[in-house]
Structure 1
């Protein structure tokens, strides 16, 4: 009896240690773990996703095609959002969201009803909230003033359960402190606030026209806006009471875009240059960290991110042929140049 008890105890300890070691393992779950997904919008054809490992050595130009063969990805790949092991890739031109395992990129499902010009998405408690441009036209992006909506997707069934009508235009979306914050693009000047618990538009905040990229940090939403013919600025919205303060850029930084926050610095771009300012600064820096040569049809970078002490730049190119992505150190030294797909527009970190 004593031997049996001792044997069972030893066996239990061995099993616990083995399981603990397995749980602590940092081994990749799939071929595309520990790296960066680069979303390529595509031109008249299909979008694609490229992958570069964190060590900057392993690279796959077309991950989705490599894994899923001839499956049609969809036109005008807009953005990616994550939930657990899944990645949701929005193809706005095809009104489709491709659901894949984010580490193997194997196709799981397609969400292809209830969407009309889907743009960006976030996840809360098993539901995805995806902005839809509705009558938005890629040929005339300013069209479709007040019919945009949020599609509420049940991620257990990958179906659209309901819609939140916005009576406004809608573009970027951020989830913070249980509320959804949506920017209106172009000449519209509101930040929309939606309560996902009631699926209602609660209020709106006047922040000025042409708001685009935004990020929340420590109870403040930082929104970059760049009105045509006016000064660019960062609008800071204190989320607890919706009070506003602004950092207005000098004329030399007109047309600023692509805000990202990393380690208490706000990074932003103007044409082909990258700048940074302290998050509490009252003035924008006019000294560039990076300046590269672009072949973009827009004359500026099309995608941008800062992460892991690196600056990531996507050059849109001419939208007919594969284009370039560049990876710099946080101080501006070029570390890697990649030939990715057509029209690269965003970076997503898959760790």
Structure 2
């Protein structure tokens, strides 16, 4: 679930580790008697609301589409509430259901359930993999948004270190602040802190300790790394949006401050030497080396989102992918555009689509 509405919901916890079947045999479509595989395309995560989340699949040719992959392959199994994100390792995909404190492990080609990780997690958010271990940020508790003294976040968030051979949490790394997104670069973990914090946290997985943080200013939203440069999109309430470029070799920084017309920019993604970003229901792009942000939209669309803006975004395979969150009570839509803004595909997905994960 996006942090912008997480505090509105009281999330439950689950504390039992469940081992499931290792049956990785391909699923068979009962209508066509053909083997279903999901190797060439994109998984669309649907957050869900008070019920179960889901995952949709759209093939690279934009013709093959399955609205609920997990339900089709694993009928009757409870997937989990508030499906947050996904990461891959080898033959497996790990799907984080933050509202159920659960990670579903599936075969990434067949989506057949392999195992569930349900112990040692507290509102898991995003994860990465290094050397046979997954590092998953857990938001644990959330700030008291009505109390200015607590506005910078909490001190009980942590990174869960998961042994992928046993699918169990073997240790935790305290963050001493609110954690959200995580990326891996050159052996280090970089964790964003939302809201009033000014830092990107740096974790050394060799020691499981925090190192000197990177001070980028308030409102870090999305991050990407390209050629040793960490790109951080900031969107602090009441202040101009900007991109901070951090050279991870020497920690030097340059900033691109956005004009007022691009306030509340979100969803940074990098593709083929361009930085893509969004404002409300519009998509923009600028060169990696640009010193100013483009104010000319590539495309704009009409949203049915409760927020009046897109909820999920990605650029990959020569296309722009947009997920419209809808009203979080009924199924919503995902859109695929060309890089010049031409609509190529529209599909009805699940409730609250929030992200795209490419299985190529």
Normalised by the length of structure 1, the TM-score is 0.90
> Any runs of at least 4 consecutive aligned residues in structure 1 with deviations exceeding 4 A, and if so which?
137-144
SS of the residue 1:301 aligns to = coil
CA displacement, residues 244-272 of structure 1 (integer Å, 9 cap, x when unaligned): 11100000000000000000000000000
SS of the residue 2:237 aligns to = coil
**Aligned position for 1:253:** 262
Distance 1:143 1:78, change over 3 A: farther
Confirm or deny: 8 A CA contact 1:323 1:341 kept in the other structure.
yes
- Aligned partners of 2:166 and 2:81: how far apart in 1? 24
Q: CA deviation at 1:146?
A: 1.2
Is residue 2:124 matched to residue 1:118?
A: yes
- Aligned partners of 1:197 and 1:208: how far apart in 2? 27
- Aligned partners of 1:153 and 1:29: how far apart in 2? 32
Confirm or deny: 8 A CA contact 2:199 2:215 kept in the other structure.
yes
Confirm or deny: 8 A CA contact 2:153 2:196 kept in the other structure.
no
Q: CA deviation at 1:86?
A: 0.3
- Aligned partners of 1:66 and 1:142: how far apart in 2? 42
Residue range with higher mean Cα deviation, 129-138 or 186-195:
129-138
Which residue among 100, 104, 107 is the counterpart of 1:101?
A: 107
Aligned residue runs from structure 1 range 233-244, under 5 A: 233-244=242-253
- Aligned partners of 2:243 and 2:138: how far apart in 1? 25
Which residue among 189, 196, 201 is the counterpart of 1:187?
A: 196
- Aligned partners of 1:104 and 1:320: how far apart in 2? 28
Confirm or deny: 8 A CA contact 1:259 1:269 kept in the other structure.
yes
- Aligned partners of 2:160 and 2:83: how far apart in 1? 17
Confirm or deny: 8 A CA contact 2:85 2:355 kept in the other structure.
yes
- Aligned partners of 1:102 and 1:65: how far apart in 2? 15
Aligned residue runs from structure 1 range 1-351, under 5 A: 31-136=37-142, 144-351=153-360
Confirm or deny: 8 A CA contact 1:145 1:168 kept in the other structure.
yes
- Aligned partners of 1:336 and 1:138: how far apart in 2? 41
Normalised by the length of structure 2, the TM-score is 0.88
Confirm or deny: 8 A CA contact 2:333 2:347 kept in the other structure.
yes
**Aligned position for 2:14:** none
CA displacement, residues 137-166 of structure 1 (integer Å, 9 cap, x when unaligned): 799996851111000000000000000011
SS of the residue 1:75 aligns to = coil
The unaligned stretches of length 5 or more in structure 2 are 1-33
- Aligned partners of 1:142 and 1:99: how far apart in 2? 35
Structure of greater Rg: 1
Aligned-pair Cα RMSD in Å: 1.7
